[in-house]
Amino acid sequence: MTDKNIQLTSTISEDNKLTLALQEIDMPQPGADEVVVRIEAAPLNPSDLGVMFSAANMATAVQSGTDENPVITADVPAQFMPSLKTRVGKATPVGNEGAGTVVAAGSSDAAQALMGKTVAVIGGGTYRQYHCVNVQSCLELKEGTTAKEGASSFVNPLTALAMVETMRAEGHKAIIHAAAASSLGQMLNRICIADGIDLINIVRRDEQETLLRDMGAKYVVNSSSDNFIADLTAAIIETGATISFDPIGGGQLSSDILNCMETAITRDVEEYSVYGSDTFKQAYIYGALNRGPITLNRNFGFAWGVNGFLLFNALGKLGTKTVMSMRKRVAEEITTTFASSYTHEVSLAEALKLQSIAAYGKQATGEKYLITPQA
């Protein structure tokens, strides 16, 4: 272990500027129930970009500094500044998860048991070389699993599993998922195929349809097709899906989904009711890929809910026993069901190059970056 520890931070200043930079910080000392993990791999996911770019307009981004120590600045539109006031002037560490080797451990048995092990970690600030975390925030990876394979063990795997558990807990029998060719969407397909759950995938491009069908997905509908509404309704009639998860948010997709559910449910009803069907239809919005307004065109009666869905809140509702079994499944199936793939590996400095930012900032299918902070 060296004395050098570097982290990537995101700062918003009073003059409406975002600054992304590398910062030298102290080497952490673990408390009794903590371990220090040498972070060897950390994914760049949309949720990380939310912290990293915040509300900045990245089209205005400029790079300065040196090759080893790049600095990115970008403008934050004035209308967003009031909602960011708790961030102003604070260098916020970036990175929700990652994996690496435990190089120092506190005195508790649980911490000592992890010494030398490869673990995945969850908890703000993984885009750094050495991270100190509580043992509860670690997932011990199976022997032979590499840090790169385990880097995305929490955010996407647990969210995909939480969707399935939420479907079960809330009494639905099939799921509709949007932006379904995402990393998370591919995991959800593997879970649903393995567990015999009907999953309707909504994608927006032909190649995404092919990708999911080649994985064995039975229901894939394309929102760019003229037949989208008819195709979605037909798939809902076949599966009985009454719950959806949409990471896009802005626009009217969740509204379209609720309307298709209602059409499917009421298809054989002969008597008109101004209140619609009494079958409860749930639309969860779990991302902000489109930051525009959410539009609801209400032709779906009164038995419906549109709610936010966040992993940590969902885990709280599902309870410790379910969460422990979800974590166990992830550790066992991290190279199969929950495998992530990355198109580029970049050092902390390379992650702050305009060229990299332009690529991973697109959040496009199959364009995921992995940060390797030791490089």
Ligand X SMILES: NC(=O)c1ccc[n+]([C@@H]2O[C@H](COP(=O)([O-])OP(=O)(O)OC[C@H]3O[C@@H](n4cnc5c(N)ncnc54)[C@H](OP(=O)(O)O)[C@@H]3O)[C@@H](O)[C@H]2O)c1
- Classify residue 286 by its DSSP letter: -
Q: Note the helical H segments in the chain.
A: 46-53, 109-112, 147-150, 155-169, 183-195, 206-214, 228-239, 253-265, 311-318, 320-332, 354-360
Range in contact with ligand X (rule: CB under 6 A) among 57-65, 163-171, 282-290, 329-337: 282-290
**Site size toward ligand X, by CB under 6 A:** 26
Phi, psi of 35 (to 5 degrees): -130, 155
The answer to whether residues 254 and 306 touch, using CB atoms and an 8 Å cutoff, is yes
Asked if 157 is part of the footprint of ligand X (rule: CB under 6 A), the reply reads: no
Pairing of strands 243-246, 281-285: parallel
Residue 126 to residue 128: CA distance in whole angstroms? 5
Asked if 110 is part of the footprint of ligand X (rule: CB under 6 A), the reply reads: no
Nearer to ligand X, 22 or 161 (CB): 161
List b or e across 129-157, with b for residues whose CB sees 16 or more CB atoms inside 10 angstroms: bbbbbbbebbbbbeeebebbbbbbbbbbb
Binding positions for ligand X, 67-106, rule CB under 6 A:
none
Taking CB under 6 A as the rule, which mask of x and - marks residues 294-333 in contact with ligand X? ---------------xxx----------------------
Nearer to ligand X, 62 or 364 (CB): 364
Residue number of the CB closest to ligand X reads 287
Q: Give min distance, CB of 95 to ligand X, in A.
A: 14
The torsion of the CA quartet 90, 92, 93, 97, rounded to 10 degrees, works out to 160
Nearer to ligand X, 184 or 357 (CB): 184
Q: Give min distance, CB of 138 to ligand X, in A.
A: 19
Nearer to ligand X, 138 or 155 (CB): 155
Nearer to ligand X, 133 or 155 (CB): 155
Asked if 166 is part of the footprint of ligand X (rule: CB under 6 A), the reply reads: no
Cα 162 to Cα 157, 166, 236, 245, 291: the distances in Å are 9, 6, 21, 11, 24
Taking CB under 6 A as the rule, which mask of x and - marks residues 212-251 in contact with ligand X? -----------------------------------xx---
Taking CB under 6 A as the rule, which mask of x and - marks residues 22-61 in contact with ligand X? -----------------------xxx--------------
Q: Give min distance, CB of 47 to ligand X, in A.
A: 5
315: left (phi over 0), alpha (psi -120 to 50) or beta: alpha
The answer to whether residues 289 and 248 touch, using CB atoms and an 8 Å cutoff, is yes
Query: How would DSSP label each residue in 77-145?
Result: -GGGGGGGTTTBT--EE--SEEEEEEEEE-SSHHHHTTTT-EEEEESS--SBSEEEEEGGGEEEPPTT-
Kindly tell me which residue out of 9, 11, 137, 159 binds ligand X, with binding defined by CB under 6 A: 159
Q: Distance of alpha carbon 292 from its chain centroid, rounded? A: 19
Nearer to ligand X, 34 or 97 (CB): 97
Residue 246 to residue 34: CA distance in whole angstroms? 36
Q: Give min distance, CB of 51 to ligand X, in A.
A: 11
Q: Give min distance, CB of 273 to ligand X, in A.
A: 34
Nearer to ligand X, 180 or 197 (CB): 180
Interface residues with ligand X (CB under 6 A) are 45-47, 155-156, 159, 179, 181-184, 204-205, 247-248, 286-287, 289-290, 309-311, 363-365, 368
